[in-house]
């Protein structure tokens, strides 16, 4: 494809993603109440434990603004299969004919990984909130700004979802023959620095614990991807050696 055609393809894919997100946000608008109640559950648990805690909307329009934000967040989760497919479909024209078959496979892999990461963030959220609020002095009251709390919750969930996608990108580069598994293995020091840097920026609060948890999970996924890449390289090397032997190449 020509550069101009790539720009047109990119524009059409972005437009499709935006339309999908808007439609998903419409569905998210009607799911706001149960999702808000679920996200606010840790605060209610603190109340039931006898501590004074409440979510506080500080302005007249902040409740409406927060509903819009949560609706877009839910739209991103609901339509994740759609925009993940658009991402891989945009890359497909740049692949060779025998590589385009990987688009479906990568789409099928990224969707459960993203949802698994988001689910893990959702699972860790109440534990993180309980830990942070447990250090509140007895003489203090937790009146939490609802916008700050929900933004923290959504960023945490999305950060875990996105963090689970990078092994698929590594394997994609390896399958296309651009990077060998041993190259990823030799660069493990830089990879760990980059992963923990990402975890630090993705962490919405200035605490080390969420960053460490996310960084450790990304490190485990990194080594899993490296292992799969090395296995693939060994299979490719064996096939190449067999082909060379059949052709009589020394």
181 with 222, same domain: the answer is yes
Question: Does pTM surpass 0.75?
Answer: no
So what's the pLDDT on residue 99? 58
Residues 43 and 123 in one domain: yes
d(CA 125, CA 89) in angstroms, rounded, equals 33
Verify that 222 and 112 share a domain, yes or no: no
Q: Are residues 24 and 148 in the same domain?
A: yes
Same domain, 147 and 177: no
75 Cβ partners below 8 Å, 6+ apart? 21, 22, 23, 24, 25, 26, 27, 28
Structural domain ending residue among the three candidates 154, 183, 204:
154
List, for residues 175-230, the tens digit of each pLDDT value.
777 888 889 989 889 989 988 888 777 665 556 777 787 788 889 889 988 998 89
Residue 202 lies in a domain: yes
Q: What is the mean pLDDT of residues 79-102?
A: 71
The domain in which residue 122 lies consists of: 1-154
Whether 150 is in a domain gets the answer yes
Distance CA 117, CA 114 (A): 5
- Is 223 part of any domain? yes
215 and 95 together in one domain:
no
29 with 137, same domain? yes
Number of structural domains, the chain?
A: 2
Contacts of 250 (CB under 8 A, 6+ apart): none
Phi, psi of 147 (to 5 degrees): -65, -45
Q: Residue 159: inside a domain, yes or no?
A: no
SS in 3 state form for 12-78?
A: HHHHHHHHHHHHHHHHHHHCHHHHHHHHCHHHHHHHHCCCCEEEECCCCCHHHHHHHHHHHHHHHHH
The answer to whether residue 160 is domain-embedded is no
C-alpha span between 224 and 57 (Å, rounded) = 44
């Amino acid at each position: 494809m020509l550069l101009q055609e790539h720009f047109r393809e990119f524009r059409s894919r972005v437009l499709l993603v935006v339309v999908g997100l808007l439609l998903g946000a419409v569905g998210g608008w009607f799911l706001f109440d149960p999702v808000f109640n679920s996200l606010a559950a840790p605060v209610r648990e603190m109340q039931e434990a006898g501590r004074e805690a409440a979510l506080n909307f500080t302005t007249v329009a902040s409740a409406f603004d927060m509903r819009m934000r949560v609706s877009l967040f839910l739209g991103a989760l609901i339509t994740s299969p759609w925009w993940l497919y658009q991402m891989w479909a945009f890359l497909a024209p740049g692949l060779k004919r025998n590589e385009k078959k990987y688009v479906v496979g990568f789409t099928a892999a990224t969707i459960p990984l993203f949802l698994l990461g988001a689910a893990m963030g959702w699972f860790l959220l109440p534990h993180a909130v309980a830990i942070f609020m447990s250090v509140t002095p007895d003489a203090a009251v937790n009146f939490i700004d609802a916008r700050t709390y929900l933004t923290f919750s959504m960023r945490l969930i999305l950060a875990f979802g996105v963090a689970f996608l990078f092994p698929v990108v590594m394997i994609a580069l390896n399958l296309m023959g651009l990077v060998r598994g041993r190259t990823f293995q030799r660069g493990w020091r830089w990879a760990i620095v980059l992963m923990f840097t990402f975890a630090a920026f993705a962490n919405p609060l200035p605490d080390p614990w969420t960053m460490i948890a996310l960084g450790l999970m990304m490190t485990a996924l990194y080594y899993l991807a490296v292992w799969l890449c090395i296995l693939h390289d060994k299979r490719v090397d064996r096939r190449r050696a067999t082909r060379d032997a059949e052709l009589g190449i020394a």
